[in-house]
Each structure stands twice: as structure tokens, then as C-alpha cells.
């Protein structure tokens, strides 16, 4: 047993350069035995932290600084994600010694045309892209992994089999990112269901710049995600 939970603030849109903005989930995913969490909402952050503190395993909690609401309550992308957090469900689950959210992905938006799998702050970029594509009658299903390790492959596979298309969206650099591992695991089970080539969207392979315009250029944008999703549906 190793009951230890470590909270790590990180992520872009904080203008803190490579020292705090770089995404490091792939580092820890390569160490067997460590649970890696990446919440994208206040509710998930609370639930996962409470659940993590109650188990006897080492947990890395990746908290995106851009979601802290440091800019007048808004995220680094200008969204307001404030919500009233429900505390009873996760505490009841802990009291009953059952898993609640760790290891369980969530379909946060239903869609018929393409599956978009993501985590952390990128769920908000994904939502914006999906809403814009919906105006063109392209419906994107979004899966928020929430837990990177253990990885809920079943939820992802079920969605990809149904939509026939898959895009992985990560904030981390494209090379060496966790998205390729996730893509590979899903393809092992549903390659022949695909109607178009799968794709991984990631940041440019460069240290995260301090300059706001340069940082914005390196990380995945809503417009870029829209272009990739639209191409996938051709």
C-alpha cells in the first residue's frame, strides 16, 4: 500500500512558460502502479480528489491552472465553468467502499458522426468546436477521460464503433504524448469499424513559450480542432 495523493498544477494559458505550463501526463503514465487523474471541471476535481484520498494507491492529480478561474472567475480560454459542487455522492461512494469516478470516462456530449476523446482543459476547447460544427449538421461525441491511468478503453471503443471516426485531443506536445497510446489501444479493438483515418491533435513540439501570442500558437485551438474534425467526417 502507498496511500499518497500528489496535486500538480500545470497547463497553458497561464503565461508561465515551460516551467509550469508543460503537460507531463505521459511521464507518469509510463510508471506502472501510479493512478493519473486529469479533471476538467470543478465537480470532477472535487470528486476525484476525495476518492483519491480514500484509496491505498499513489495518485497524481493533474490540476490545470488555466481552469482555476484566476482571471475574474474565467478560465484561460475565457469560459465560466463555475458550478455548485455536490459533495454527497462521492462521499457516499467512499463510505460504501466503491469506485465512483476513478477509471470511468464520461460521455459529456452525444454525437453520431465522430468521437472526440480528450481530458483536462481540452474538454472546453472540444465543446466549443463541437457546438460550432453542430451548426453544419456535424455532431461530435465528446468523451472526457477524467482518469488517464487506469484508462477506460471500453467507453471509448463503444463510441468509436458507433461513430466510425476517432480524434484524440491532447494539450501536450504531439510527439511522445499520451494520445498516441490511447489511440493505439482503441484501434486494437475497432480498427475495421473506422470510416476515416484516426488522428491525434497535440501542441507543437516546442517548449511552451512565455509570450501569450506564441503560447496561443503552440497549443491546440478551437479552429484547428474544427478543421481536423471536419476533415475526419469527409
The verdict on 159 and 219 lying in the same domain is: yes
Q: Is residue 101 part of a domain?
A: no
| Number of domains, the chain | 2
CATH number at residue 74: 3.40.50.970
Residue 178 within a domain: yes
Structural domain span for residue 221:
106-232
What would the 3-class secondary structure string for the chain be? CCCEEEEEEECCCCCCHHHHCCCCHHHHHCCCCCEEECCCCHHHHHHHHHHHHCCCCEEEEEEEHHHCCCECCECCCCCCCCCCCCCHHHHHHHHCCCCCCCCCCEEEECCCCEEEEECCCHHHHHHHHHHHHHCCCCCEEEEECCEEECCCHHHHHHHHHHHCCEEEEEEEECCCCHHHHHHHHHHHHHHHHCCCCCEEEEECCCCCCCCHHHHHHHCCCHHHHHHHHHHHCC
Q: Are residues 149 and 212 in the same domain?
A: yes
Indicate whether 100 belongs to any domain. no
Q: Which of 46, 76, 95 is the last residue of a domain?
A: 95
User: What CATH number did the domain enclosing 204 receive?
Assistant: 3.40.50.920
214 found inside a domain:
yes
Please report, in tens digits, the pLDDT of each residue of the chain (234 residues total): 899 999 999 999 988 888 889 999 999 999 999 999 999 999 999 999 999 999 999 999 999 998 987 667 788 888 888 888 999 999 999 999 999 999 999 999 999 999 999 999 999 999 999 999 999 999 999 999 999 999 999 999 999 999 999 999 999 999 999 999 999 999 999 999 999 999 999 999 999 999 999 999 999 999 999 999 999 999
pTM above 0.85, yes or no: yes
Amino acid at each position: 500500500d502507498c496511500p499518497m495523493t500528489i496535486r500538480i498544477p500545470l497547463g497553458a494559458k497561464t503565461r508561465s512558460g515551460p516551467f509550469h505550463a508543460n503537460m507531463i501526463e505521459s511521464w507518469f503514465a509510463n510508471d506502472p502502479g501510479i493512478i493519473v487523474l486529469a479533471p476538467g471541471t470543478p465537480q470532477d476535481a472535487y470528486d476525484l480528489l476525495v476518492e483519491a484520498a480514500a484509496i491505498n494507491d499513489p495518485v497524481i492529480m493533474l490540476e490545470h491552472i488555466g481552469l482555476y478561474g484566476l482571471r475574474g472567475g474565467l478560465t484561460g480560454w475565457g469560459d465560466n465553468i463555475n458550478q455548485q459542487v455536490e459533495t454527497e455522492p462521492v462521499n457516499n461512494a467512499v463510505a460504501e467502499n466503491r469506485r465512483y469516478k476513478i477509471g470511468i470516462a464520461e460521455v459529456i456530449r452525444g454525437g453520431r458522426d465522430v468521437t472526440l476523446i480528450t481530458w483536462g482543459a481540452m474538454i472546453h476547447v472540444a465543446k466549443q468546436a463541437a457546438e460550432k460544427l453542430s451548426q453544419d449538421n456535424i455532431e461530435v461525441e465528446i468523451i472526457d477521460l477524467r482518469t488517464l491511468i487506469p484508462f477506460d478503453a471500453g467507453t471509448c471503443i463503444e463510441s468509436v464503433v458507433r461513430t466510425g471516426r476517432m480524434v484524440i485531443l491532447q494539450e501536450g506536445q504531439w510527439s511522445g504524448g499520451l494520445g498516441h497510446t490511447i489511440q493505439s489501444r482503441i484501434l486494437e479493438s475497432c480498427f475495421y469499424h473506422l470510416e476515416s483515418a484516426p488522428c491525434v491533435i497535440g501542441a507543437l513540439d516546442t517548449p511552451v513559450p512565455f509570450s501569450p501570442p506564441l503560447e496561443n500558437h503552440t497549443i491546440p485551438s478551437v479552429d484547428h480542432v474544427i478543421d481536423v474534425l471536419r476533415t475526419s467526417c469527409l
